[in-house]
Structure 1
Amino acid sequence: MPSLRDRQTRVAAFFVFGVQGLSFATLLIQVANLQARHELDEGTLTLLLLIVPVFAGVGSVAAGAFAARLGSRLLLRVAQPVVAVAVVLAGLAPNVPLLVPALLLFGVAVGAVDAGMNMQGVAVERRYGVQVLNGFHCVWSVFSMVGALWASAAADLPLPVVMAVPMVFAVAGSLYAGPKLCSPKEEKVETATVTAGRFPWRPILPLCLAMGFLYVGDAAVSNFNTVFMKDVLTAGPRVIPLAYVAYQATTLAVRLGGDFAVRRYGPAVIVRIGGLIATLGFLGVVLAPNQFLGIVAFGLTGVGLSVVAPQSFSAAGRLDPAGTGVAIARVNLFNYVGFIVGAALVGGIADAAGMRIAFAAPLVLAAAIIVLAPGFAPKRAAATTDQATT
């Protein structure tokens, strides 16, 4: 039975995930507007978008080292408000030379928060003793959708205002949650014998690859859905954000029941089905003849991709019974590897052959997730954990 303190840490983690979803969506939903404001071609836009995942990878690696010494709570209390500040600065930037450092700051901070919030989520899941991580990612999706809906409703307002208003709530939520998160002592499991230095790569490699392929697809949707809707399907300002709303809405719908589905059928089955549905979704994007079917296809990709990240972090947590955060930080690093590859690959293909053809790349990699699904099986996690502790 969860204690009052367990419930408190779970609520605090919900806030952290929600703030991160709101912050991330508030920036990425404005990619098309930032492109138009700064008169960027596809190649230049791709280079700018690469700043975020490259420096997020740096932030994630640094977060792993920081959290191993001081815990993820302090990390989040510092880094999450910085994410909000960076979003506001990106909206205010009058030119590219000032936009670049804002994106750099956003990247480092968002990488640190991504790693830290999943460390908190796994710590709560470990304390509860059942699958709860999907619920946290569900809240991330809810507030990502809120950010996209706000952008649609406030389309007539100045861009700095549209980007700044949600960040007021983001800072408030972060400040509320920070003191209530799991302390460093609560994150660790003193009886476990796995050490950071001895933690093997082999058992988490399928998780890392699946995470990377997932985020190639997520990068394609997050970075280029607005450009696709505007340039390929000729959508207007109020329709453009709806593709991302559909993506986050279906992600939310699946994650609402994700923990129950995983408990019943196991993570490997759920990930395999997710890979198949994501593949069909990207095929729909490539073939979409109109705005409505394009929005439906983006929603279908959300159904498929939504299950992969929570199960990757949950499986990584099972493979790291000491609670060091090493496995989670390594898996999270492939979040940004995928985002880097996704932004470069999709942007490069779009520049050479068109945005519609570019979405064939995440289609292929989504299909590869189906092959990697057995790596999420609980029996394999248990076996490799035993090997790691010998």
Structure 2
Amino acid sequence: MPSQRDRQARVATYVVYAVQGLSFASLLIQVANLQAKHGLDEGTLTLLLLIVPVLAGVGSVAAGAFAARLGSKLLLRIAQPAVAVAVVLTGLAPNVPLLVPVLLLFGVAVGAVDAGMNMQGVAVERRYGVQVLNGFHCVWSVFSMAAALWASVAAGLPLPLVMAIPMVLAVAGSLYAGRDLCTKDEEKADSVAAPAGGKVPWRPIIPLCLAMAFLYVGDAAVSNFNTVFMKDVLGASASVIPLAYAAYQAATLAVRLGGDFAARRYGPAAIVRVGGAIATLGFLGVVLAPNQPLGIVAFALTGMGLAVVAPQSFSAAGKLDPAGTGVAIARVNLFNYVGFIVGAALVGGIAEAADMRVAFAAPLVLAAVIIALASGFQPKPAVVPHKIY
């Protein structure tokens, strides 16, 4: 049975995921308002938005090196408040020259937190001895939705205030969680030595990295282009257009609620394989959708299928790094941003050259490849640790 200390670390990790979901969404959902505030054209906006995933990749790699030396607890105590500060400064920035360095800070910090929180999630999962990572990602989704609801309710308030108020809660949550997160020593399994030479091998991690990238190609396709597809291809009205993304997020949340149970019962490789198949079916449905209701159902299926990939990628990466250095997790997390950047460019480019239906065939093919990569989600640990309980 888990100890009281393990339960404290689990609660603290839930809070970290909640704060990250709240913080990230608090900036993301204000993109249109920031564009209007600074008078940005589409090209300039796209360049500014690319700053975040590019710098987040840098932050993720740096997080791996930092956590290997000092642990992810200290990393999160520094980086997570920095994310909140960057969100507030984004709302306050009076012009583009001041907005750019704020986005640089946000990108590096959010990448570090993404890596660090999953290091903590894997550490808790290791100490519990059962799958718990889907539950953490579920909390992230819930608080992302909460940020969107707050923005809707507070739409009449000044933009800096709308963005700042949730960040008060974010900083408070981060400070609270920082006390009880797993320490560097607690992130390690008992009686496990570091890998030979202090290095984690790349080869067994590659299938996880590829699956993470392909997941986020699909996520970028849905996130960036679902509204365009519903409006221009299916002729949806303003009231119907948002239902596609709402269905995608609701399906993602629903699957993650039961994801840990499914992983424990059937194994991570099996649920990733099924998830890849469902996502492939969903993207096929998007390509072929003859009307709006079936289009919405198809977007929901993509969310249902893709939902399991990220938590299981991090869980499997943790098994490949039983010494708890965080290096494997940081590598996998990097491909989150690679996939998102490639997805936005790939789908957008195909849509411009051909049409939007053809563009969604790209994530369809990559979702199918996830099925073939599923066996990599049940790797043999680099070192077999002694059981803790």
Give ranges in structure 1 of 5+ residues lacking alignment: none
Partner in structure 2 of residue 77 of structure 1: 77
In the alignment, the residues of structure 1 paired with residue 53 and residue 168 of structure 2 have an alpha-carbon distance, to the nearest angstrom, of: 24
Partner in structure 2 of residue 193 of structure 1: 193
Q: Does 1:369 align with 2:366?
A: no
In the alignment, the residues of structure 2 paired with residue 155 and residue 295 of structure 1 have an alpha-carbon distance, to the nearest angstrom, of: 26
Residue deviations 1:184-231 (CA, integer Å, cap 9, x gap):
121123521333633211111111100111111222233444565666
Matches within 5 A, 1:1-390: 1-189=1-189, 191-195=191-195, 197-225=198-226, 235-236=237-238, 242-288=243-289, 293-353=294-354, 355=356, 357-377=358-378, 381-382=379-380, 385=382
Residue deviations 1:158-190 (CA, integer Å, cap 9, x gap):
443433332222222111111111111211235
CA shift for structure 1 position 4: 0.6
TM value normalised by structure 1: 0.89
Q: Could you say if the C-alpha distance between residues 220 and 111 of structure 1 is closer, same or farther in structure 2, counting changes exceeding 3 Å?
A: same
Partner in structure 1 of residue 387 of structure 2: none
CA shift for structure 1 position 333: 1.3
Q: Which amino acid aligns with 2:168?
A: V
Q: Which amino acid aligns with 1:345?
A: L
Q: Could you say if the C-alpha distance between residues 93 and 220 of structure 1 is closer, same or farther in structure 2, counting changes exceeding 3 Å?
A: farther
Q: Could you say if the C-alpha distance between residues 150 and 224 of structure 1 is closer, same or farther in structure 2, counting changes exceeding 3 Å?
A: farther
Residue deviations 1:281-309 (CA, integer Å, cap 9, x gap):
23344455666554443332211111001
CA RMSD of aligned residues (A): 2.5
CA shift for structure 1 position 375: 1.2
CA shift for structure 1 position 20: 0.8
TM value normalised by structure 2: 0.89
Q: Could you say if the C-alpha distance between residues 101 and 307 of structure 1 is closer, same or farther in structure 2, counting changes exceeding 3 Å?
A: same
What's the secondary structure of 1:346's corresponding residue?
helix
CA shift for structure 1 position 239: 6.1
Q: Could you say if the C-alpha distance between residues 337 and 78 of structure 1 is closer, same or farther in structure 2, counting changes exceeding 3 Å?
A: same
CA shift for structure 1 position 245: 3.4
Contact persistence 1:142–1:248 (CA under 8 A): no
What's the secondary structure of 1:180's corresponding residue?
coil
Contact persistence 1:82–1:109 (CA under 8 A): yes
Residue deviations 1:81-112 (CA, integer Å, cap 9, x gap):
11122222333334433332222211100100
Q: Could you say if the C-alpha distance between residues 245 and 167 of structure 1 is closer, same or farther in structure 2, counting changes exceeding 3 Å?
A: farther
What is the percentage of aligned positions where both structures have the same residue? 82
Greater shift, 68-77 or 361-370, is seen at 361-370
Aligned residues: 382
Give ranges in structure 2 of 5+ residues lacking alignment: 385-389
Contact persistence 1:46–1:347 (CA under 8 A): no
